Structure 1
Amino acid sequence: MSLLHTWRWYGPNDMVSLDDVLQAGAKGIVNALHHIPVGEVWSVEEIQKRKRIIEWDEKKNKARDLKWSVVESVNIHESIKKGSAERDQMIENYIQTIKNLSECGVYTVCYNFMPILDWTRTDLVYEVEDGSKALRFDAINLAAFDLFILKRPEAKDEYIPEVIQKAQERFDSLNQAERELLQKNVLAGLPGTTDIIEIEDFRKFLAQYEHVDAAVLKSNLKYFLERVVPEAEKAGIKLCCHPDDPPYPIFGLPRIISNEEDLTYLTSCVDSPSNGITFCTGSLGPNASNDLPGMIKKLGHKIHFLHLRNVQRQADGSFYEADHLTGSTDMYAVMLALVKEVKKRKESGRDDFAIPMRPDHGHQMLDDLKKHVPFAGYSAIGRLRGLAELRGLELGISRTLESI
């Protein structure tokens, strides 16, 4: 097999140990220094400290069969997204961090350009048919939160009357505890933390983006890339932008990495092997117009990192995270396109043919149902199942292509 199988690990306090990761069959770790505030430089000392934890087994006094393969994420400071006065210093700090990562031998850096929140869901423990728990985005619940809890003044002009009526009915059907849980779930998407943003703080953050539309945000992305990518290329770092999640505007915030056109814009801002894509099937999948295998065929040479998961789309824009091989995305067609991209890279002599891939999220199931999962979607057993299924799919496709 040719993809590099990785696992997202949240550090020494993760409920899933590195020994667990080895048993799951992964060879690479996806990690970040979440304890360092966004915008501050990651020092060589801090990076080396985490790298040793991942790659050296202190108890056995020997190297562990794992490598820190991908940073997810070196988060982008809000001043860079907004284009405010502080951004030039934050960009310089970002450049220093990627130089330090290169010095320590970590060369792939994931990031996203979503304002304020990294991701948005309305239910973190949605029960699917087999009794396991999944993440869910309910479009009507989100509208109910936006209109009647957040009470954003512009919201009433952004929803059609039918949705407003359904949102009112949904909000009226919720008791106080359910309304508080909905608020907590929606505001749980802060990058790299289990902290929940306070609603008053969220309103203040939204106000700061009042004059940032999609065109301004795209311009600010280009400004960032034009300054960072050349330095990343010198350092041998591959930057890879993660798509928006969900892939459409919410709360009046623009979304600019949601479809093939956006990804083409991203990669054309600066033409460099260091300017690439984190191809997340779970973030692109909720948009039915996204042809994921087709996007891989056209933009595969720019993919530096893979998140593979599936979603089950619903007619009103809602979706929930399905099993990795079921749902609305044809994962066979996606994997076939990826295996062909790997083959093409090998034949052209590229040394980065082994694209890092991780099972993105997983159902909370079996014994994990009895455990507290601090990072929604990141229990062990559901991801173990997802990784096993994806590895089997990859092997089957690879062997079939070899025999033709």
Structure 2
Amino acid sequence: MVIDNATLLIGIAFSSASLLLALLIGWLNARTETYLVLGAVGMALIVLAVMLMGFRNGAYGFGQHLVPYTLILIGFSFVYAGARRFRDIKASIRPPIVVGVLAVVAIGIPFLMGLTGVGTILLNSLAAAILVLCAIEHWRSKDHPHIALNANAILYCITALSFLCCALVLLSEARWVTTEPPKNWAEDFNSIMSLVGLTGIGALTLTLHYARAAHRHHTEANTDSLTGVLNRRALFDRFGGSKQSSATAVLMFDLDHFKQVNDRFGHAQGDRVLQRFADVLRQELRRGDVASRIGGEEFCVVLNDIDQEMAKTIAERIRKAFADLALAIDDQGLIATVSIGLAIPTIEEDFSALLNRADAALYQAKNGGRNQVRLAPLRLVA
């Protein structure tokens, strides 16, 4: 049984309205996720446009063309703005605004000239272009499940193709003026893909939204909020129950005279020192090394696939980089430095035991004058 165009329009309207409601609910639970409200506004305009086309009762004058088509292009532009904010929460919405304004002007000119077919061709072509831009934004996103992102990008592209087919059919027929809604296979394809595509895109977008929220909550639970490195719980969740091989090294850090910084200059200045040290760790460590703040001014780093000499080199590099910051706290020249303890197992060793040996070496460094690296005695093989 062939579904008539009016029924498809009703289906598109209900699908878009359901998506609009879901996006609004998602945004109400996460107000910082502005891509949700931008997508919701876009869907609202598309629903309004589809309703106007569904209730024109055979009329096909200037108003029945230009008003819903304008709403569709503006709606897609909002969806494009949402796609940009989905990829990057700080992304500018100026490009979508420019695209939307130019698109509306582009279709308005031929409609004002009476070339309704040309205006319809431009509508479909521009809608396809905006949807491709949405697909590109999802394709460029890196911090989400790639399968869902790629599926969303593909749905955008297929929906864009359906609009492009409508434009190409009108162009091939040289329909520069239309006096009734076009009826051909491309219009049916476009109606079906608008229904399936919008529903699929909405479902995937909401899935990605909740996946992002779950990932963010997991990250927040495992990250030190001040410095951005792992917290103590995350460190022990990752390494606590495991044995470490001889290709592993543990570094323990303690910032020298840190209590004096807090006492004399306040906790805000102390927080700044901790953040600067975390920045040094990020700068000097290799990909795959794990840094954490385990409490107060104490940090721990786990180095993987490394030998003793390279571990000592990295530890010295961190110590020197932090000292070279010359982080003068006041005019008396109080400088932030760090003491470091290094432990490497000669045989497989429990992480907690390795951490304790690194901690003992750290206190040797502090008792020996601070701002130095001490190597824990190698554990004898039984």
Q: Which has the larger radius of gyration?
A: 2
Relative to the length of structure 2, the TM-score reads 0.22
> Which has more strand, going by share of residues?
1
> Which has more helix, going by share of residues?
2
Higher RCO (CA-CA < 8 Å; seq separation 6+): 1
Relative to the length of structure 1, the TM-score reads 0.21
